[in-house]
Amino acid sequence: MTSERYNHRTAEQENLAAVSHFIKRGTSSNKDTSETFYCLEMFPYPSGKIHMGHIRNYTLGDVLARMKFAKGYDVLHPMGWDAFGLPAENAAKEKNIHPQSWTLENIANMKMQLKRLGLYIDWSSELATCLPEYYGAEQRIFLEFLKHGIAYKKEAAVNWDPVDQTVLANEQVIDGRGWRSGALVEKKKLNQWFLKISDFADELLEGLKTLKDWPEKVLLMQEKWIGKSIGVEFSIPILSADGENICDVSVFTTRHETIFGMSYVALSIEHDLIKKYAQDDPDLQAFCKICAEDAAKADYDAVADKKGYRTALIARNPLSGEEVPVYAANYVLSDYGSGAVFGCPAHDERDYEFAQKYNINICQVILAEDDKSDALPYTEKAGKMINSGSFDGLDITDARKKILETLQQQKVGSQKTTYRLRDWGVSRQRYWGCPIPVINCPSCGAVPVPEDQLPVTLPEDVDFNCQGNPLAAHPTWKYTKCPDCGADAERDTDTLDTFFDSSWYFMRFLSPKAEHFIDREAVNKYLPVDQYIGGIEHAVLHLLYARFMTRALCKIGAVDVQEPFKALFTQGMVCHATYKSEDGRWLEPVECIKKDGQIIEISSGRPVTMGPSIKMSKSKKNIVDPDEIIQRYGADTARWFVLSDSPPEKDVEWTEEGVEAAYKFMQKLWVLLSQSGQPEGTATKETSHKIMLCLKEYDAALEKFAFNKAIAKIYEIANIISSAHKKNQPIDAGIIQNILICLYAIIPFLAMEIYKGWDYKTAIQDMSWPDMAKISDVSDEVTVAVQVLGKLRGTLLIPANSAQDFVEQQVHALPVYDKYIRDKTVKKIIYVPNKIINYVVI
Ligand code: ANZ
Ligand code: ZN
């Protein structure tokens, strides 16, 4: 055996270029016939340094890309940078460095780190969203959308983050607070650009059904976000206190069968009628003001404390004629349905609570089948109608049909579908983003920037310490002439939501430098992405926007693909234990050391409290620097470790011991697989077959994303080789070659280095993946145990599936036969093919 140790430092350095050399099989012009495989990991935000989450994410994709390449696919595996966004602007403020330099420096550094990991990436198609060649193309998309009515402008109440001084999308407001700043969000009216994602609500929902290879939970989250609700809208006459007809208010309901149980009508504080009456009612005004303030503080859905204000208005039930009070209420959403509801306390939780609080009459109209429905509210959609005029006695299903028919006949109501999904507000009052290519002219309005003036680039000389949007505050940038009439005009100083940037980058990889935004032919060839890999945190926003963008581009004829991502994989987090010093400071793992079974802070020697393993984060300092790990143990060890310990969809716990063990195993593989490590002797076919079977399972596991199971197969192979070596049985060079080709996907440096020690003709990176279909599940030679009265007395190496006659013949030639069988009477012979032959003798 070799005593030489594997030196990962020199091996990784020497093999880096070869390991990461990307081979493009086909291009759009080249009529390559091999099947395409587009493997994509969510592109990173260039924060400055890669973290362990990146290592896991990109290793997963890398293994897949390498394997698919070796299997002969025309692999596309690109990388880019989601490079616009607030952190760069904050860095500009704090460190006085321009967002552009900050971002480009970060990109350069992270690119080096990713390269060091040996990733098999097509760097020739690299892109960064902050470069004019990218955002200029994005401006062309925006203008196409404008032309086709997919982008439009409207005055809208927006979520205003008073700390970041910017408008936030609804999705960026979490529990009433800005997702980044954590500040209480305010409502503010601004002229904003919107994308008509709501027009696509139905197809985005339907499209989910075609996504067979997406995680169920992501599909559910998207479905919930789109929030399709089929109900009935009908109008209710509103009367003044002295019985005069004022107007009709329309309400949206999913429970129109409860219409006879209507005991009040509630309107949102933004409802036109409420606004109108608030003008002459200071109390109502005050009520609305309080509700608006509350609303800014919390999630509407979670309004805990229901508040109402009883107006002098009266609502008349269109079917029963009964007159009920009209309230302004904080729990009615202004932008859902029609911003008005009828309250039915007997059959709705919220209404029940409201009625209790304001002493409103409660009228039960559905009786549970089992008659035990005295507990109100009764919210099941089952039972028989009561207190509902001519509908009494009907089953709820019939009642729903008949009552809808009646509403339709009386022309007061009809079926109606609503969605929770709102149009996507894309204007941001920020500098570091894609400028919206529009010029506002006092006489012509919003005029698109002419094609030949694109891209509209960001000015470089900007003051980041000004209030609000630095782009708007620039002394000259916005002043220009109207392209239509030539009059003085101003540029739109808003930039696009960075989610816009990331919702089409996967198409741009096909033509990252082209002036035209999309190379349709290439996109059609490679999309949809065969495997998309990323974090679950993008389950709704990014993925929904990307799906919308693809459909919108399809609608305007730019591509012919509807769904961008065929398969989606969401990987788990990388976690680590947390450490706290005596005086309550979080400590980094490198600041602590284990001594005599106790963890202490290195600098002070004082004891440290260890907390549970949680997602690595800067705030808890439980981070491990990938650079350090790669330096110390090598990229292969890091790659191996992030894949080995748990299924990739689950969290993985980073431990020093785990990394040490992975490192030792690399050394072990080096010894076991090196030519010089092979003993003298004769190998058996059986061992070879066992190994090939393991490789077959390894392959199947990788295809199923069960990377940890694949790795378990390599451990198994190592054991098989170890025991063969103990018996002085070397492994066939051909088998070793197969192992190395398979390992090259996971630990490319080590695999290449060992491979070079053998005298194989073809370089490892040019070798095809073993044809797993050819490996039969049964070896052509097997060892059969020869037993006498159940005791093992010898073994027999014979062709697989041999007939009993043949096996008996072979046994006759063995020493065991003379010793234990020949002189006895054989009563019975039990033969289990490929396993045992047992002689029952007396
Ligand atoms: C009367 C009723 C009676 C209701 C009953 C429920 C139970 P989904 O399924 O989420 O669409 N609703 C309608 N518009 C609303 C708004 N702008 N703000 C708050 N609530 C609103 O829910 C539809 C139900 O939510 C509707 O059905 C309405 O209350 C309420 F026994 O109408 B229901
Ligand atoms: Zn003009």
Worst-scoring range by mean pLDDT, 280-284, 345-349, 464-468, 776-780?
Answer: 776-780
- Of the ligands numbered here, which is closest to the C-alpha atom of 490? 2
Worst-scoring range by mean pLDDT, 294-308, 408-422, 574-588?
Answer: 294-308
- Of the ligands numbered here, which is closest to the C-alpha atom of 489? 2
Nearest CA to ligand 1 atom 12: 341
Residues in the chain, total: 842
Distance 337 CA to ligand 1 centre (A): 8
Is pLDDT above 80 for 87? Answer: yes
Banded model confidence at residue 774, pLDDT cuts 50, 70, 90: confident
User: pLDDT higher for 335 or 298?
Assistant: 335
Nearest CA to ligand 1 atom 14: 337
Q: What is the per-residue pLDDT for 27?
A: 54
Is 342's C-beta closer than 6 angstroms to any atom of ligand 1? yes
677: tokens are 């490590």
Is 348's C-beta closer than 6 angstroms to any atom of ligand 1? yes
Is 136's C-beta closer than 6 angstroms to any atom of ligand 1? no
Q: What is the per-residue pLDDT for 321?
A: 96
Is 252's C-beta closer than 6 angstroms to any atom of ligand 1? yes
Closest CA to 56 of 114, 95, 121: 114
How much is the average pLDDT of 530-535?
96
Is 469's C-beta closer than 6 angstroms to any atom of ligand 1? no
Is 337's C-beta closer than 6 angstroms to any atom of ligand 1? yes
Distance 445 CA to ligand 2 centre (A): 7
Banded model confidence at residue 2, pLDDT cuts 50, 70, 90: very low
Distance 797 CA to ligand 1 centre (A): 75
Is pLDDT above 70 for 310? Answer: yes
The ligand 1 atom at the shortest distance from the C-alpha of residue 338 is: 17
Nearest CA to ligand 1 atom 28: 253
Banded model confidence at residue 292, pLDDT cuts 50, 70, 90: confident
Q: pLDDT (tens digit, 9 = 90+) per residue, 31-81? A: 556 899 999 999 999 999 999 889 999 999 999 999 999 999 999 999 999
Is 339's C-beta closer than 6 angstroms to any atom of ligand 1? yes
Distance 487 CA to ligand 2 centre (A): 6
How much is the average pLDDT of 456-477?
90
**Four-point Cα dihedral 550, 551, 556, 561, nearest 10:** 70
Is pLDDT above 80 for 828? Answer: yes
Is 234's C-beta closer than 6 angstroms to any atom of ligand 1? no
Is 271's C-beta closer than 6 angstroms to any atom of ligand 1? no
Worst-scoring range by mean pLDDT, 248-257, 483-492, 691-700, 806-815?
Answer: 806-815
Q: What is the per-residue pLDDT for 169?
A: 65
How much is the average pLDDT of 807-818?
90
Q: Is the dihedral of CA 127, 132, 133, 137 positive or negative?
A: positive
Distance 450 CA to ligand 2 centre (A): 13
Q: Helices H, strands E: what count in the chain?
A: 25, 37
Nearest CA to ligand 1 atom 25: 253
Beta bridge partners of 174: 177
- Of the ligands numbered here, which is closest to the C-alpha atom of 233? 1
Beta bridge partners of 435: 495
How much is the average pLDDT of 740-749?
98
Banded model confidence at residue 297, pLDDT cuts 50, 70, 90: low
Is 691's C-beta closer than 6 angstroms to any atom of ligand 1? no
CA distances (Å), origin 92, targets 103, 163, 429: 10, 16, 16
Banded model confidence at residue 114, pLDDT cuts 50, 70, 90: very high
Q: What letter would DSSP give residue 71?
A: T
Is 671's C-beta closer than 6 angstroms to any atom of ligand 1? no
Q: What is the per-residue pLDDT for 1?
A: 41
Mutation choice for ligand 1 from 256, 348, 421, CB with most ligand atoms inside 8 A: 348
291 neighbors 455 (Cβ within 8 angstroms): no
Distance 157 CA to ligand 2 centre (A): 27
- Of the ligands numbered here, which is closest to the C-alpha atom of 344? 1
Q: What is the per-residue pLDDT for 372?
A: 62
Phi, psi (rounded to 5 degrees) for 509:
-60, -25
Closest CA to 150 of 652, 556, 733, 671: 556
Mutation choice for ligand 1 from 341, 350, 366, CB with most ligand atoms inside 8 A: 341
Is 229's C-beta closer than 6 angstroms to any atom of ligand 1? yes
186 neighbors 153 (Cβ within 8 angstroms): no
Mean pLDDT of the chain: 92
Worst-scoring range by mean pLDDT, 7-11, 19-23, 369-373, 761-765?
Answer: 369-373
Is pLDDT above 60 for 237? Answer: yes
- Of the ligands numbered here, which is closest to the C-alpha atom of 342? 1
Distance 281 CA to ligand 1 centre (A): 27
Cis peptide bond N-terminal to 99, omega within 30? no
Is 345's C-beta closer than 6 angstroms to any atom of ligand 1? no
Q: What is the per-residue pLDDT for 619?
A: 80
What single-letter amino acid sits at 666?
A: M
Q: pLDDT (tens digit, 9 = 90+) per residue, 624-660? A: 888 999 999 999 999 999 999 889 999 888 888 999 9
Phi, psi (rounded to 5 degrees) for 737:
-60, -45
Nearest CA to ligand 1 atom 31: 347
Banded model confidence at residue 324, pLDDT cuts 50, 70, 90: very high
CA distances (Å), origin 722, targets 413, 430, 815: 78, 62, 29
Distance 331 CA to ligand 1 centre (A): 11
Mutation choice for ligand 1 from 223, 225, 249, 253, CB with most ligand atoms inside 8 A: 253
Q: What is the per-residue pLDDT for 653?
A: 87
Q: Give percent of the chain above pLDDT 90.
A: 73
Nearest CA to ligand 1 atom 1: 253
Cis peptide bond N-terminal to 437, omega within 30? no
Distance 449 CA to ligand 2 centre (A): 12
Is pLDDT above 80 for 158? Answer: no
How much is the average pLDDT of 113-133?
97
Is 253's C-beta closer than 6 angstroms to any atom of ligand 1? yes
CA distances (Å), origin 667, targets 195, 507, 640, 718: 55, 42, 13, 12
pTM, to two decimals? 0.87
Is pLDDT above 70 for 740? Answer: yes
Worst-scoring range by mean pLDDT, 96-105, 120-129, 157-166, 754-763?
Answer: 157-166
Phi, psi (rounded to 5 degrees) for 395:
-70, 150
Closest CA to 530 of 205, 64, 127: 64
The ligand 1 atom at the shortest distance from the C-alpha of residue 331 is: 19
Q: pLDDT (tens digit, 9 = 90+) per residue, 425-455? A: 999 888 999 999 999 999 999 999 999 999 9
Q: What letter would DSSP give residue 778?
A: S
- Of the ligands numbered here, which is closest to the C-alpha atom of 378? 1
Phi, psi (rounded to 5 degrees) for 81:
-135, 125
Is 344's C-beta closer than 6 angstroms to any atom of ligand 1? yes
Banded model confidence at residue 764, pLDDT cuts 50, 70, 90: very high
Q: Tell the burial category of 179 from Cβ atoms under 10 Å away from its Cβ (0-12, 13-18, 19+).
A: middle
Is 12's C-beta closer than 6 angstroms to any atom of ligand 1? no
Is 232's C-beta closer than 6 angstroms to any atom of ligand 1? no
Banded model confidence at residue 806, pLDDT cuts 50, 70, 90: confident
**Cβ-based neighbour number of residue 283 at 10 Å:** 10
Is pLDDT above 90 for 770? Answer: yes
- Of the ligands numbered here, which is closest to the C-alpha atom of 488? 2
- Of the ligands numbered here, which is closest to the C-alpha atom of 396? 1
341 neighbors 258 (Cβ within 8 angstroms): no
Task: Categorise residue 410: left if φ over 0, alpha if ψ from -120 to 50, beta otherwise.
Answer: alpha
Worst-scoring range by mean pLDDT, 25-34, 300-309, 463-472, 703-712?
Answer: 25-34
Beta bridge partners of 343: 264
Q: What is the per-residue pLDDT for 173?
A: 82
> What DSSP assignment string belongs to 168-203?
E-GGGEETTEETTT-PBPEEEEEEEEEE-GGGGHHH
Is 233's C-beta closer than 6 angstroms to any atom of ligand 1? no
Q: pLDDT (tens digit, 9 = 90+) per residue, 561-618? A: 999 999 999 999 888 889 999 888 889 888 988 888 889 999 888 999 998 888 888 8
Nearest CA to ligand 1 atom 2: 255
Worst-scoring range by mean pLDDT, 331-335, 409-413, 523-527, 714-718?
Answer: 331-335
Nearest CA to ligand 1 atom 7: 348
Task: Categorise residue 681: left if φ over 0, alpha if ψ from -120 to 50, beta otherwise.
Answer: left
Banded model confidence at residue 551, pLDDT cuts 50, 70, 90: very high
